[in-house]
Amino acid sequence: MSLSVTGAILEISEVQQIKETFKKREFVLEIAENPQYPEFIKFELIQDKCALLDAHKVGDKISVQFNLKGRKWTDRDGKVVYFNSLQAWRIEVESGTQAASAPETASLEGLSEPEWSSDDKEDDLPF
């Protein structure tokens, strides 16, 4: 399910190398449809999409296209746990604002929606 939202970057984390073949990066977007009650939404970028934030800084107003993901995971004791994540796959600068470095069009070339894969079935973690 692909969705889109616009807001200001509140936080940007460093890239996390989860496994040798899997990395992710998180960021928080402040969405102020009602300025009295802003929403703070955490997104993640995976694999090559982690670099999409390199051209942005805290405070930039951006539009984010993302997929709503849900996963089911059973721990070693047989307990089932459900995880939701918002996987961003495109970031565009909102008109009237500038990115920290590269121009808008440079960060959009060759973008596609990422695929989720889990190679190691023996892991006790769902990602």
- The predicted-structure confidence for 13-50, as pLDDT tens digits, reads as follows 999 999 999 999 999 999 998 889 999 999 999 999 99
Reported as half-sphere exposure (CB side, CA atoms, 13 A), residue 104 has a value of: 11
Cβ-contact 25, 43 below 8 angstroms: no
Q: Which residue has the tokens 């994540």?
A: 85
**Nearest-angstrom CA–CA distance, 49 and 65:** 12
- Reported residue count of the chain is 127
> pLDDT grade, residue 107 (50/70/90)?
very low
Ramachandran assignment for 47, one of left (phi > 0), alpha (psi -120 to 50 degrees), beta (any other): left
CA dist 81 → 28, 77, 112, 125, 126 (Å): 24, 11, 29, 11, 9
> pLDDT grade, residue 115 (50/70/90)?
low
Q: Which fold has domain 2-107?
A: OB fold (Dihydrolipoamide Acetyltransferase, E2P) (2.40.50)
How much is the pLDDT for 1?
72
Give residue-wise pLDDT tens across range 50-106.
Answer: 999 999 999 999 999 999 999 999 999 999 999 999 999 999 998 754 444 333 334
How much is the pLDDT for 64?
95
- State both tokens at 117: 């894969």
For residue 108, pLDDT over 50 is answered with no
Cβ-contact 13, 25 below 8 angstroms: yes
- DSSP 3-state assignment of 50? helix
